[in-house]
Amino acid sequence: MTATIIDGKTIAAQLRGKIATDVAHLNAAHGIVPGIAVVLVGADPASEVYVRTKAKAVAEAGMRAIDKKLPVTTSEAELLALIAALNADPAVHGILVQLPLPPQIDSHRIISAIDPGKDVDGFHPLNVGRLASGLPTLAPCTPLGCVMLAKSVRPSLAGLEAVVIGRSNIVGKPVAQLLLMENATVTVAHSKTHDLPAVCRRADILVAAIGRPEMVRGDWIKPGAIVIDVGINRVPGKEGKSKIVGDVAFAEAAQVAGAVTPVPGGVGPMTIACLLLNTLRAARALNGLPALNL
């Protein structure tokens, strides 16, 4: 058996196209340009690359990116003051604070200070709670992307067994909530799980969000399963260069799974597309416009 490769790049491009269309309409009909503030404290090279990629995608969707670069010595009070200013700015519909933050700043305090209506990362406790309660909310981007990719091959996930490996607040737990909202039977497995391979073999949908290169082997996968690989791990490659691999041993998985996301080109592109989607949703909601169903 050879799995369908779930082409996250193409699916993300389609979603971004739909978003750009609605953004153009929003501007033409209401004079609104969705704006997202991306706050970067310090000069972490990986974060800088990521912020540039975001800015490019934001511009391509017809939105406005407001980049805020602060020195690594920024105090918590200074960052809170910036958040307050962005909360009050009507041109800003989304606020994203790039994590991690330097040690003098309490991330929880910063995230809780963001207006929940502008929290396009979906990390504010109020939005986490609304998601956990099944209420409409801004859900975290990577989990949203995972579920969209699963649904691209199987439009209804109802009644399927889903296993999520990893229980982070950023991926594992919110993706479990979203899968539950899709009526899947959802198991959250983690480092304390006994016989993880056996638990994974129950899964019709397996979401790997562990952060360990190629940990999920082919014989962990139920034949025909949908495998969503959230991992982005840099490992040594050929000729002294490094390469990026996921949490799933892709070549093995492709022999067993019904469908599998590649790394790169799977979940990654969807995360940025879902950030645009959340910004659009926030801009509509903040302007009292009805929700979109993209």
Tokens of 227: 């495998």
Q: Does 9 bind a second copy (CB under 8 A)?
A: no
Nearest Cα neighbor of 120 from 236, 251, 274 is 274
Residue 151 C-beta: closest distance to a second copy, Å? 16
106 is catalytic: no
Tokens of 218: 């082919």
Catalytic residue chosen out of the listed positions 54, 68, 118, 222 = 54
Q: Does 201 bind a second copy (CB under 8 A)?
A: no
Buried b (16+ CB within 10 A) or exposed e, 216-241: beeebbbeebbbbbbbbbeeeeeeee
Q: Which of 131, 150, 205, 230 binds a second copy (CB under 8 A)?
A: 131
Angle at 87 between CA 121 and CA 56, to 5 degrees: 50
Q: Which of residues 57-116 bind a second copy (CB under 8 A)?
A: 108
83 HSE (CA, 13 A, CB side): 23
Catalytic residue chosen out of the listed positions 98, 118, 173, 247 = 98
> Residue 17 or residue 197: which is nearer to a second copy going by CB?
197
98 is catalytic: yes
Residue 45 C-beta: closest distance to a second copy, Å? 29
| Residues 6 or more apart in contact with residue 264 via CB below 8 angstroms | 232, 244
Q: How far apart are the first and last CA of the chain?
A: 32
Which residues are 235's β-sheet partners? 243
Q: Which of 9, 18, 69, 167 binds a second copy (CB under 8 A)?
A: 167
Residue 44 C-beta: closest distance to a second copy, Å? 24
Q: Does 206 bind a second copy (CB under 8 A)?
A: no
> Residue 202 or residue 212: which is nearer to a second copy going by CB?
202
Q: Are 186 and 159 in contact (CB under 8 A)?
A: no
Catalytic residue chosen out of the listed positions 121, 204, 229, 247 = 121
Residues with a catalytic annotation lie at 54, 98, 121
- Using CB under 8 A, list all residues that contact a second copy: 108, 124-135, 158-161, 167, 169, 173, 176-177, 180, 183-190, 192-194, 199
